[in-house]
Structure 1
Protein backbone atom coordinates (compact mmCIF):
# COMPACT_ATOMS: atom_id res chain seq x y z
CA UNK A 1 0.00 0.00 0.00
CA UNK A 2 2.85 2.35 0.78
CA UNK A 3 4.47 1.74 -2.60
CA UNK A 4 1.10 2.12 -4.33
CA UNK A 5 0.51 5.42 -2.58
CA UNK A 6 3.99 6.78 -3.32
CA UNK A 7 3.99 5.73 -6.99
CA UNK A 8 0.33 6.17 -7.98
CA UNK A 9 -1.93 7.44 -5.22
CA UNK A 10 -0.23 10.70 -4.34
CA UNK A 11 0.05 11.68 -8.02
CA UNK A 12 -3.63 10.93 -8.58
CA UNK A 13 -4.90 12.92 -5.62
CA UNK A 14 -5.32 10.21 -2.97
CA UNK A 15 -5.62 12.05 0.33
CA UNK A 16 -4.85 9.71 3.24
CA UNK A 17 -6.83 11.83 5.72
CA UNK A 18 -9.90 12.15 3.49
CA UNK A 19 -9.87 8.41 2.71
CA UNK A 20 -9.70 7.50 6.41
CA UNK A 21 -6.23 5.93 6.35
CA UNK A 22 -5.06 8.64 8.75
CA UNK A 23 -8.23 9.40 10.72
CA UNK A 24 -6.50 10.88 13.77
CA UNK A 25 -5.99 9.10 17.07
CA UNK A 26 -9.36 10.01 18.55
CA UNK A 27 -11.35 8.68 15.58
CA UNK A 28 -9.09 5.62 15.39
CA UNK A 29 -9.71 4.68 19.04
CA UNK A 30 -13.43 5.47 18.74
CA UNK A 31 -13.50 3.04 15.84
CA UNK A 32 -11.80 0.34 17.90
CA UNK A 33 -14.24 1.00 20.76
CA UNK A 34 -17.18 0.65 18.38
CA UNK A 35 -15.68 -2.59 17.06
CA UNK A 36 -15.35 -3.97 20.60
CA UNK A 37 -19.00 -3.11 21.35
CA UNK A 38 -20.18 -4.78 18.12
CA UNK A 39 -18.19 -7.97 18.69
CA UNK A 40 -19.18 -8.29 22.36
CA UNK A 41 -22.83 -7.61 21.48
CA UNK A 42 -22.83 -10.12 18.61
CA UNK A 43 -21.23 -12.88 20.67
CA UNK A 44 -23.42 -11.92 23.63
CA UNK A 45 -26.42 -12.76 21.46
CA UNK A 46 -24.80 -16.04 20.46
CA UNK A 47 -24.32 -16.99 24.13
CA UNK A 48 -27.84 -15.92 25.18
CA UNK A 49 -29.50 -17.79 22.31
CA UNK A 50 -27.31 -20.82 22.93
CA UNK A 51 -28.17 -20.84 26.65
CA UNK A 52 -31.92 -20.39 26.30
CA UNK A 53 -32.68 -22.06 22.97
CA UNK A 54 -29.60 -24.16 22.12
CA UNK A 55 -29.47 -22.29 18.81
CA UNK A 56 -26.72 -23.48 16.50
CA UNK A 57 -25.34 -20.75 14.26
CA UNK A 58 -23.67 -23.11 11.84
CA UNK A 59 -23.93 -22.33 8.19
CA UNK A 60 -22.44 -25.04 6.01
CA UNK A 61 -18.78 -25.10 7.17
CA UNK A 62 -18.78 -21.90 9.24
CA UNK A 63 -19.67 -22.20 12.91
CA UNK A 64 -20.33 -19.19 15.12
CA UNK A 65 -20.92 -20.76 18.50
CA UNK A 66 -20.75 -20.29 22.23
CA UNK A 67 -17.42 -21.39 23.63
CA UNK A 68 -15.74 -22.38 26.86
CA UNK A 69 -13.22 -20.11 28.63
CA UNK A 70 -10.26 -22.22 27.50
CA UNK A 71 -10.79 -20.91 23.94
CA UNK A 72 -10.06 -17.32 25.04
CA UNK A 73 -6.32 -18.07 25.34
CA UNK A 74 -6.27 -19.52 21.83
CA UNK A 75 -8.15 -16.48 20.51
CA UNK A 76 -5.73 -14.08 22.20
CA UNK A 77 -2.81 -15.95 20.66
CA UNK A 78 -4.35 -15.80 17.15
CA UNK A 79 -5.77 -12.25 17.39
CA UNK A 80 -2.59 -10.29 16.47
CA UNK A 81 -2.12 -12.19 13.21
CA UNK A 82 -5.77 -11.92 12.19
CA UNK A 83 -5.65 -8.26 13.27
CA UNK A 84 -2.73 -7.42 11.00
CA UNK A 85 -4.36 -9.16 8.05
CA UNK A 86 -7.89 -7.78 8.40
CA UNK A 87 -6.83 -4.21 9.26
CA UNK A 88 -4.52 -4.11 6.24
CA UNK A 89 -7.19 -5.79 4.11
CA UNK A 90 -9.82 -3.24 5.12
CA UNK A 91 -7.52 -0.29 4.39
CA UNK A 92 -6.55 -1.80 1.02
CA UNK A 93 -10.15 -2.49 0.02
CA UNK A 94 -11.51 0.88 1.10
CA UNK A 95 -8.76 3.41 0.51
CA UNK A 96 -6.75 1.91 -2.31
CA UNK A 97 -9.37 0.06 -4.36
CA UNK A 98 -12.26 2.46 -4.30
CA UNK A 99 -13.80 3.10 -7.68
CA UNK A 100 -17.08 2.64 -9.46
CA UNK A 101 -17.70 0.75 -12.66
CA UNK A 102 -20.39 2.28 -14.85
CA UNK A 103 -21.30 4.46 -11.88
CA UNK A 104 -22.27 1.45 -9.78
CA UNK A 105 -20.36 0.86 -6.59
CA UNK A 106 -21.89 -2.58 -6.02
CA UNK A 107 -19.87 -3.87 -8.99
CA UNK A 108 -16.69 -2.67 -7.26
CA UNK A 109 -17.80 -4.42 -4.06
CA UNK A 110 -18.53 -7.66 -5.94
CA UNK A 111 -15.12 -7.56 -7.65
CA UNK A 112 -13.38 -6.89 -4.34
CA UNK A 113 -15.21 -9.82 -2.71
CA UNK A 114 -14.26 -12.09 -5.61
CA UNK A 115 -10.58 -11.11 -5.64
CA UNK A 116 -10.39 -11.20 -1.84
CA UNK A 117 -11.42 -14.87 -1.96
CA UNK A 118 -9.58 -15.78 -5.16
CA UNK A 119 -6.39 -17.20 -3.59
CA UNK A 120 -8.02 -19.98 -1.59
CA UNK A 121 -10.62 -20.49 -4.34
CA UNK A 122 -7.84 -21.25 -6.85
CA UNK A 123 -6.37 -23.83 -4.47
CA UNK A 124 -9.76 -25.52 -3.98
CA UNK A 125 -10.43 -25.62 -7.73
CA UNK A 126 -6.92 -26.93 -8.45
CA UNK A 127 -7.25 -29.67 -5.85
CA UNK A 128 -10.69 -30.84 -7.00
CA UNK A 129 -9.76 -30.59 -10.69
CA UNK A 130 -6.63 -32.66 -10.08
CA UNK A 131 -8.65 -35.21 -8.11
CA UNK A 132 -11.34 -35.38 -10.82
CA UNK A 133 -8.80 -35.84 -13.64
CA UNK A 134 -6.24 -38.11 -11.94
CA UNK A 135 -8.05 -39.65 -9.00
CA UNK A 136 -5.34 -38.30 -6.67
CA UNK A 137 -4.87 -35.04 -4.82
CA UNK A 138 -2.05 -32.60 -5.54
CA UNK A 139 1.26 -34.01 -4.26
CA UNK A 140 2.05 -32.67 -0.82
CA UNK A 141 -1.42 -31.19 -0.29
CA UNK A 142 -3.71 -33.54 1.64
CA UNK A 143 -7.36 -33.47 0.59
CA UNK A 144 -8.51 -32.19 3.98
CA UNK A 145 -6.68 -28.91 3.33
CA UNK A 146 -9.05 -28.17 0.47
CA UNK A 147 -12.04 -28.85 2.67
CA UNK A 148 -10.65 -26.50 5.32
CA UNK A 149 -10.45 -23.76 2.68
CA UNK A 150 -14.21 -23.72 2.02
CA UNK A 151 -14.97 -21.49 5.02
CA UNK A 152 -11.98 -19.28 4.16
CA UNK A 153 -13.40 -18.60 0.69
CA UNK A 154 -16.78 -17.66 2.17
CA UNK A 155 -15.28 -15.60 5.01
CA UNK A 156 -12.96 -13.59 2.75
CA UNK A 157 -15.75 -12.76 0.32
CA UNK A 158 -18.17 -11.84 3.13
CA UNK A 159 -15.66 -9.70 5.02
CA UNK A 160 -14.93 -7.69 1.88
CA UNK A 161 -18.63 -6.86 1.51
CA UNK A 162 -18.99 -6.07 5.22
CA UNK A 163 -15.89 -3.90 5.11
CA UNK A 164 -17.23 -1.83 2.20
CA UNK A 165 -20.64 -1.34 3.83
CA UNK A 166 -19.21 -0.20 7.16
CA UNK A 167 -16.67 2.07 5.46
CA UNK A 168 -19.36 3.76 3.35
CA UNK A 169 -21.19 4.71 6.55
CA UNK A 170 -18.20 5.70 8.69
CA UNK A 171 -15.29 6.60 6.36
CA UNK A 172 -13.12 4.65 8.82
CA UNK A 173 -11.52 1.45 7.48
CA UNK A 174 -10.30 0.39 10.92
CA UNK A 175 -13.77 -0.33 12.36
CA UNK A 176 -14.54 -3.14 9.91
CA UNK A 177 -10.97 -4.40 10.08
CA UNK A 178 -11.20 -4.76 13.83
CA UNK A 179 -14.66 -6.36 13.73
CA UNK A 180 -13.65 -8.83 11.01
CA UNK A 181 -10.41 -9.74 12.80
CA UNK A 182 -12.14 -10.34 16.13
CA UNK A 183 -15.03 -12.37 14.75
CA UNK A 184 -12.89 -14.48 12.42
CA UNK A 185 -10.45 -15.08 15.28
CA UNK A 186 -13.29 -16.30 17.49
CA UNK A 187 -14.65 -18.50 14.70
CA UNK A 188 -11.18 -20.02 14.19
CA UNK A 189 -10.39 -20.40 17.90
CA UNK A 190 -13.71 -22.01 18.77
CA UNK A 191 -13.53 -24.46 15.89
CA UNK A 192 -13.56 -28.13 16.87
CA UNK A 193 -9.98 -28.52 15.60
CA UNK A 194 -8.49 -26.26 18.28
CA UNK A 195 -7.30 -27.67 21.58
CA UNK A 196 -6.30 -25.94 24.79
Structure 2
Protein backbone atom coordinates (compact mmCIF):
# COMPACT_ATOMS: atom_id res chain seq x y z
CA UNK A 1 0.00 0.00 0.00
CA UNK A 2 1.39 3.38 -1.01
CA UNK A 3 -0.08 5.11 2.10
CA UNK A 4 -0.13 2.41 4.82
CA UNK A 5 -0.80 4.74 7.77
CA UNK A 6 -4.40 5.87 8.25
CA UNK A 7 -4.07 8.85 10.67
CA UNK A 8 -1.49 10.83 8.64
CA UNK A 9 -3.49 10.18 5.47
CA UNK A 10 -6.88 11.30 6.77
CA UNK A 11 -5.50 14.28 8.68
CA UNK A 12 -3.25 15.20 5.76
CA UNK A 13 -6.14 15.00 3.29
CA UNK A 14 -8.32 17.13 5.56
CA UNK A 15 -5.46 19.60 5.90
CA UNK A 16 -4.87 19.77 2.15
CA UNK A 17 -8.55 20.52 1.47
CA UNK A 18 -8.41 23.31 4.06
CA UNK A 19 -5.20 24.62 2.51
CA UNK A 20 -6.77 24.81 -0.95
CA UNK A 21 -9.81 26.57 0.52
CA UNK A 22 -7.53 29.07 2.27
CA UNK A 23 -5.70 29.84 -0.99
CA UNK A 24 -9.01 30.39 -2.78
CA UNK A 25 -10.23 32.74 -0.05
CA UNK A 26 -7.04 34.82 0.17
CA UNK A 27 -6.91 34.92 -3.63
CA UNK A 28 -10.42 36.30 -3.79
CA UNK A 29 -9.67 38.75 -0.97
CA UNK A 30 -6.58 39.96 -2.83
CA UNK A 31 -8.25 40.51 -6.21
CA UNK A 32 -11.50 41.91 -4.81
CA UNK A 33 -10.08 44.08 -2.04
CA UNK A 34 -6.35 44.18 -1.28
CA UNK A 35 -5.10 44.77 -4.84
CA UNK A 36 -7.20 47.91 -5.19
CA UNK A 37 -5.62 49.24 -2.00
CA UNK A 38 -2.04 48.79 -3.11
CA UNK A 39 -1.19 45.30 -1.84
CA UNK A 40 1.68 43.74 -3.76
CA UNK A 41 2.34 39.99 -3.93
CA UNK A 42 6.08 40.50 -4.30
CA UNK A 43 6.49 42.82 -1.35
CA UNK A 44 4.51 40.55 0.98
CA UNK A 45 6.51 37.47 -0.07
CA UNK A 46 3.87 35.55 -2.01
CA UNK A 47 5.88 35.90 -5.23
CA UNK A 48 9.51 35.95 -4.03
CA UNK A 49 11.05 34.80 -7.33
CA UNK A 50 12.42 31.35 -8.15
CA UNK A 51 15.84 31.99 -6.62
CA UNK A 52 14.37 33.08 -3.29
CA UNK A 53 11.90 30.20 -3.45
CA UNK A 54 14.72 27.71 -3.94
CA UNK A 55 16.60 29.20 -1.00
CA UNK A 56 13.43 28.80 1.08
CA UNK A 57 13.32 25.09 0.33
CA UNK A 58 17.03 24.71 1.11
CA UNK A 59 16.79 26.66 4.37
CA UNK A 60 13.73 24.66 5.41
CA UNK A 61 15.53 21.37 4.73
CA UNK A 62 18.58 22.49 6.73
CA UNK A 63 16.47 23.57 9.71
CA UNK A 64 14.48 20.33 9.74
CA UNK A 65 17.61 18.20 9.40
CA UNK A 66 19.30 20.12 12.24
CA UNK A 67 16.24 19.83 14.48
CA UNK A 68 15.92 16.08 14.05
CA UNK A 69 19.69 15.77 14.26
CA UNK A 70 19.39 17.16 17.79
CA UNK A 71 16.68 14.59 18.53
CA UNK A 72 18.95 11.76 17.41
CA UNK A 73 21.88 13.18 19.38
CA UNK A 74 19.83 13.33 22.57
CA UNK A 75 18.52 9.82 21.92
CA UNK A 76 22.04 8.45 21.38
CA UNK A 77 23.78 10.23 24.26
CA UNK A 78 21.06 10.44 26.90
CA UNK A 79 18.69 7.65 25.77
CA UNK A 80 15.70 9.99 25.88
CA UNK A 81 13.52 12.04 23.56
CA UNK A 82 11.08 14.95 23.61
CA UNK A 83 7.59 14.19 24.93
CA UNK A 84 5.20 16.93 26.01
CA UNK A 85 1.56 15.99 26.71
CA UNK A 86 0.23 14.55 23.42
CA UNK A 87 3.27 15.44 21.30
CA UNK A 88 6.15 12.99 20.94
CA UNK A 89 9.30 13.87 19.02
CA UNK A 90 11.56 10.84 18.92
CA UNK A 91 14.27 9.13 16.89
CA UNK A 92 13.09 6.95 14.01
CA UNK A 93 14.38 4.45 11.48
CA UNK A 94 15.33 5.51 7.96
CA UNK A 95 12.30 3.82 6.39
CA UNK A 96 10.11 6.41 8.15
CA UNK A 97 11.79 9.17 6.12
CA UNK A 98 10.81 7.60 2.80
CA UNK A 99 7.33 6.96 4.16
CA UNK A 100 7.00 10.58 5.33
CA UNK A 101 7.85 11.83 1.83
CA UNK A 102 4.66 10.18 0.56
CA UNK A 103 2.50 12.15 2.98
CA UNK A 104 4.49 15.37 2.80
CA UNK A 105 2.68 16.87 -0.24
CA UNK A 106 -0.64 16.83 1.63
CA UNK A 107 0.81 18.70 4.60
CA UNK A 108 2.78 21.06 2.36
CA UNK A 109 -0.43 22.26 0.71
CA UNK A 110 -1.88 23.15 4.09
CA UNK A 111 1.10 24.64 5.89
CA UNK A 112 2.34 26.71 2.94
CA UNK A 113 -1.17 28.06 2.35
CA UNK A 114 -1.55 28.64 6.08
CA UNK A 115 1.71 30.58 6.29
CA UNK A 116 0.73 32.75 3.32
CA UNK A 117 -2.70 33.46 4.83
CA UNK A 118 -1.32 34.25 8.28
CA UNK A 119 1.64 36.36 7.27
CA UNK A 120 1.07 37.86 3.86
CA UNK A 121 -2.60 38.76 4.35
CA UNK A 122 -3.20 39.01 8.10
CA UNK A 123 -0.40 41.22 9.40
CA UNK A 124 -1.84 43.79 11.79
CA UNK A 125 -1.61 44.70 15.45
CA UNK A 126 -4.35 44.55 18.06
CA UNK A 127 -4.27 47.13 20.86
CA UNK A 128 -0.89 48.19 19.50
CA UNK A 129 0.70 44.82 20.28
CA UNK A 130 1.85 42.34 17.66
CA UNK A 131 1.85 39.42 20.13
CA UNK A 132 -1.91 39.84 20.59
CA UNK A 133 -2.37 39.40 16.84
CA UNK A 134 -0.15 36.32 16.93
CA UNK A 135 -2.18 34.87 19.82
CA UNK A 136 -5.43 35.51 17.96
CA UNK A 137 -4.07 33.81 14.83
CA UNK A 138 -2.84 30.83 16.90
CA UNK A 139 -6.33 30.44 18.35
CA UNK A 140 -7.95 30.86 14.93
CA UNK A 141 -5.60 28.23 13.53
CA UNK A 142 -6.63 25.64 16.11
CA UNK A 143 -10.27 26.58 16.79
CA UNK A 144 -11.79 24.04 14.36
CA UNK A 145 -10.31 20.91 16.00
CA UNK A 146 -10.94 22.44 19.45
CA UNK A 147 -14.65 22.82 18.65
CA UNK A 148 -14.83 19.28 17.24
CA UNK A 149 -13.18 17.75 20.32
CA UNK A 150 -15.38 19.74 22.74
CA UNK A 151 -18.53 18.79 20.80
CA UNK A 152 -17.53 15.12 20.76
CA UNK A 153 -16.80 14.88 24.47
CA UNK A 154 -19.86 16.95 25.40
CA UNK A 155 -22.04 14.59 23.39
CA UNK A 156 -20.32 11.54 24.91
CA UNK A 157 -20.70 12.73 28.50
CA UNK A 158 -24.35 13.66 27.99
CA UNK A 159 -25.46 10.61 26.00
CA UNK A 160 -22.85 7.92 26.57
CA UNK A 161 -22.16 7.71 22.83
CA UNK A 162 -19.90 9.42 20.32
CA UNK A 163 -21.27 11.00 17.16
CA UNK A 164 -21.98 8.47 14.40
CA UNK A 165 -20.32 10.76 11.85
CA UNK A 166 -17.27 11.44 14.04
CA UNK A 167 -15.49 8.24 15.25
CA UNK A 168 -14.05 8.38 18.77
CA UNK A 169 -10.52 7.65 17.59
CA UNK A 170 -10.64 10.79 15.44
CA UNK A 171 -11.10 12.88 18.59
CA UNK A 172 -7.90 11.38 19.96
CA UNK A 173 -6.05 12.12 16.73
CA UNK A 174 -7.08 15.78 17.01
CA UNK A 175 -5.40 16.46 20.37
CA UNK A 176 -1.88 16.75 18.89
CA UNK A 177 -3.36 18.56 15.87
CA UNK A 178 -4.61 21.32 18.19
CA UNK A 179 -1.08 21.77 19.56
CA UNK A 180 0.57 21.62 16.13
CA UNK A 181 -1.71 24.24 14.62
CA UNK A 182 -1.35 26.72 17.48
CA UNK A 183 2.43 26.35 17.65
CA UNK A 184 2.74 26.45 13.86
CA UNK A 185 1.06 29.88 13.79
CA UNK A 186 3.59 31.27 16.28
CA UNK A 187 6.57 29.71 14.51
CA UNK A 188 5.28 30.89 11.15
CA UNK A 189 4.93 34.48 12.33
CA UNK A 190 8.41 34.56 13.94
CA UNK A 191 10.12 33.13 10.86
CA UNK A 192 8.26 35.52 8.57
CA UNK A 193 9.32 38.45 10.75
CA UNK A 194 12.95 37.38 10.25
CA UNK A 195 12.80 36.47 6.55
CA UNK A 196 9.79 38.20 4.97
CA UNK A 197 9.18 34.86 3.22
CA UNK A 198 6.07 32.77 4.05
CA UNK A 199 7.42 29.63 2.37
CA UNK A 200 10.23 28.95 4.83
CA UNK A 201 7.89 28.39 7.76
CA UNK A 202 5.46 26.49 5.53
CA UNK A 203 8.15 24.00 4.52
CA UNK A 204 9.49 23.63 8.07
CA UNK A 205 6.09 23.15 9.71
CA UNK A 206 4.96 20.68 7.05
CA UNK A 207 8.12 18.56 7.26
CA UNK A 208 8.25 18.50 11.06
CA UNK A 209 4.56 17.67 11.51
CA UNK A 210 4.69 14.96 8.82
CA UNK A 211 7.78 13.38 10.35
CA UNK A 212 6.31 13.42 13.86
CA UNK A 213 3.03 11.95 12.62
CA UNK A 214 4.61 9.16 10.60
CA UNK A 215 7.20 8.22 13.24
CA UNK A 216 4.48 7.83 15.89
CA UNK A 217 1.97 5.85 13.81
CA UNK A 218 1.70 2.11 13.23
CA UNK A 219 2.52 1.11 9.66
CA UNK A 220 0.20 -1.57 8.28
CA UNK A 221 1.99 -4.08 6.09
TM above 0.5: yes
Please give the residue correspondences for 1:21-100 in structure 2 after superposition, counting only pairs within 5 Å. 21-100=46-125
Deviation for aligned residue 1:142: 2.2
Deviation for aligned residue 1:195: 4.1
Aligned length: 196
DSSP-derived class of the 1:58 partner: strand
Aligned equivalent of 1:7: 32
Q: Distance in 1 between matches of 2:43 and 2:141?
A: 24
Deviant stretches of 4+, over 2 Å:
192-196
Q: Provide, for residues 108-144 of structure 1, a one-character-per-residue CA deviation record: whole Å limited to 9, x for no partner.
A: 1111100110111111010011012112111232222
Q: Distance in 2 between matches of 1:103 and 1:164?
A: 17
**Aligned Cα RMSD in Å?**
1.2
Query: Where does the alignment leave 5 or more consecutive residues of structure 1 unmatched?
Result: none
Deviation for aligned residue 1:30: 1.1
Q: 1:177 aligns with which of 202, 210, 216?
A: 202
Q: Distance in 2 between matches of 1:89 and 1:194?
A: 28
Q: Distance in 2 between matches of 1:140 and 1:126?
A: 12
Aligned equivalent of 2:128: 103
Q: Distance in 2 between matches of 1:36 and 1:164?
A: 18
**Normalization by structure 1: what TM-score?**
0.96
Query: Where does the alignment leave 5 or more consecutive residues of structure 2 unmatched?
Result: 1-25
Q: Distance in 2 between matches of 1:72 and 1:147?
A: 24
**Normalization by structure 2: what TM-score?**
0.85
